[in-house]
Structure 1
């Protein structure tokens, strides 16, 4: 994986590169830069216009601009396709389009904005209110936020330099001092599930996020795209990763919380639980809870999850941590997310894996994280308690990014055989979604 925003300007500072220009990610970046250059005058006029407006009018004008730019990014002809309360993830945003929107809004407002802006403030209306706050001079960073940033910097440095395991110990220790909850009813507000797709098929696909950062519903955005208008797809995130949220006191409470949310979101449809990486074991645990409640899921899908009995090879772990560090820009509430990860790592370290009756699929990445691994094949050992294993293109990260289409197709095909007949074709085997 390459951070094209950093690499492309440095590599092409002397002259353009026709070879790189053919790559889809580079084309998107170049087109966005060209568009930004063409709109410089209009954007400067926007900043001047906002300064002359009353506060209520400023928010309305910002909302109009956000909807218009979102429509451009998504390829729509009009801002009417982007309602003020529409969830960015549900209308098709992913990491690439989120960066594109961030770039446009930064140029328009003159404010430096984070990569995950559209995920931190998930509707145009909420994003407009946030930008207005930033433009009025608030939100420059409190001492608490700067401290959290330092924690992110330390973890990023450790991940990039092969000492991620030691940094994890630091996070696990820091998490001991966070407030916790023992019952789902103790939460003032539960983490809101995000619907990524809605369809007529008699099935609901519930995607549990990993507990390893950067965790969030955005990780399933490209995966959900081929199911749009065919299947209900929801993304569920874990408590403790946002400001003000307590962390769970034990694994059982978070699994019970998710089991309740799954039942509420499914609307009576049969449920398939899916979890990526560490989220696969969360899905497995939620399945056990649903079975104990007499409402068993139709199936469980683990996406490149790992063994709980075979420890990670040290070289593979470091390679994964280094790749992970390139994605930390999408992590919001840095201190909360990192210490929440430390808490979940501690909770599930000695977790006894329950047996489940549901058919279970492992979708495994075919490419290693470490190409020249001395031992093994450069991948984490596969998980236990799996009935069927299929391999798809990509490595641990790219299988839900550049190769998300083929990963979705593998899941769709297996569900057609095991759970229900599809109402439409699966995504092409090598499809990618943007």
Structure 2
């Protein structure tokens, strides 16, 4: 039986994503009603610029007073797509207080204050859903939170930022330098005028915090995530990667420590073998690789950003929340029962690729090897090229802790025969 009273939805933000949410709500209204069991009605749209023409949206629904909108008291669902910390945080809390459930795409806010928002939702008996906060249209949060609820997830390894993947893919496939690839990404609309959040890893780090929290049933905040950007990746790094049968990706890596008693979350560029499924993810696409006890290895792939893909994830949450609303229930909230500590980056164990500029004379390799041995870092392979008194030395290690590698590099820089450390890159996915 179709319920006749419509569910009232308020939309906070009507930019690229918000306008697509409104469009889909209108054009797919009958399908959404059939799937939910009741019609959904756009009851208000909060914006900053009320005079802007918004095709398909009744101007009488538009307001600049977002606070008054969420305080109406007759709303069933508030969709927040304005981003940032404030006023989004206050508006979401106010929506809960006045009887509405919330669907959000706000990765920065959820990574910073997810625990408090979940607590507020639980206090008021409301839903907080946020599939669109990570990896756009790719169903990822719901599979981790629900489909794999009976499994033990050990590792989440992914490309979660389309801008950086586009840039690195261009560098790999064309030999372009970083700036040239960034300029192309900007011209095509993949990179913002200020790309800092993407290329310095802030965007991916927020997503890593959310994924780690869900996967390991542990509160992981943005400050817990080790972050390195990709602006220092060079064409020479890609040349070295190709010689190893690898490529380079900016990865978000969330994993349990070897003994399972702690977790780590990190974002940084890394070499991965061409045989790994993530190596073939091209352009602005995202992909996340999940490893668990019972399910084994799973990969989720698709467009990770853009108005329509992100709106698709928002509408999926809206349908789920609306169904809960009709049934008088709520979906899964925060699961942080494990409360595992987050280990510092120094305890992370992986392999490393180190490129050194050294003097081309006898004994240099022995000196370098001695430094590695003194710090407990085992060398796997060494490649040396020299000409006219200058040489490059490329060392690939076996697995070692990040702290041990850091101590090794510091000692190498003090050697008279080492002119400089050209690059350090982790090797993952093996």
Return the TM-score normalized by structure 1.
0.28
Higher normalized strand content (fraction of residues): 2
Higher normalized helix content (fraction of residues): 1
Return the TM-score normalized by structure 2.
0.28
